[in-house]
Chain A
Amino acid sequence: DIQMTQSPSTLSASVGDRVTFTCRASQIISSWLAWYQQKPGKAPKLLISKASSLESGVPSRFSGSGSGTEFTLTISSLQPDDFATYYCQQYNSFPFTFGQGTKLEIK
């Protein structure tokens, strides 16, 4: 199975900050990576597919990059609504695996 490792596990930041999350795959997955946002008590929401393709309706302050085994999700200027947990997921091969998540907290 492909292991997905996210770092950091927790990130404290302030409104207006630029933040970057990292996701590493244990094998090459090309660009077959998705990012999700999950708020407490809610279902995850798809933000980005194919490593860098922003889903319709997702604010442009979110961006994704990377290929191969290393990927990043960047929020250019944090808004209050962005404090949540973020997961990466590889869809290069079965079984589809998620990272353990990065929790973004208010500093």
Chain B
Amino acid sequence: EVQLVESGGDLVQPGRSLRLSCGASGFTFDDYAMHWVRQAPGKGLEWVSGISWNSVGIGYADSVKGRFTISRDNAKNSLYLQMNSLRAEDTALYYCTKDFFKTLGGSYFDWWGQGTLVTVSS
């Protein structure tokens, strides 16, 4: 069965950095695009970033563009999110999600991890 396990969430001060990781198993990782979707406490879902199977296609929400960097290591079946210049409004549960497709451009999320909590506060 597909498993996505996020890690790296923590309490950090505004302006600091954090790197999230997601380990994937149960499917051929390099056959699919992957994404990060976040959910602020008590709020709805927000797509953050996505990356195609071969890392050629990458997209970001405007709210994180220039501050966050998504990457993947297909040899390690892992997805990453480097988060710089963190703000209070980045506080959320960050989900690693699997795309139904290989490339970006029309993505929906057929498997989700349980999330890792990022809290940005002084």
Contacts and interface: CB of A to CB of B under 8 A. Distances in A.
Given A32-B106, A34-B108, A91-B106, A43 B44 contact: no
B110 A55 contact: yes
Contact of B112 (A44, A91, A92): A44
Listed residue (A45, A46, A49, A100) with the most chain B CB atoms within 10 angstroms of its CB: A46
B113 A91 contact: no
Given A34-B108, A46-B109, A89 B45 contact: yes
A99 B43 CA distance: 11
Interface in A92-107: 92, 94-101
Interface string B32-75: 00000000000011110010000000011110000000000000
Contacts of A100: 44
A87 interface: yes
Contacts of A89: 45, 47, 108-109
Given A92-B106, A94-B59, A87 B112 contact: no
Contacts, number: 56
B59 A87 contact: no
Q: How large is the interface on A (under 10, 10 to 19, 20 to 34, 35 or more residues)?
A: 20 to 34
A9 to B, nearest CB: 11
Interface string B108-122: 111111110000000
A34 to B, nearest CB: 4
Contact of B113 (A43, A45, A101): A43
Interface of B: 44-47, 50, 59-62, 95, 100, 104-115
16 contacts: A34-B108, A34-B109, A36-B109, A43-B95, A43-B112, A43-B113, A43-B114, A43-B115, A44-B112, A87-B44, A89-B47, A91-B108, A94-B59, A97-B47, A99-B44, A101-B45
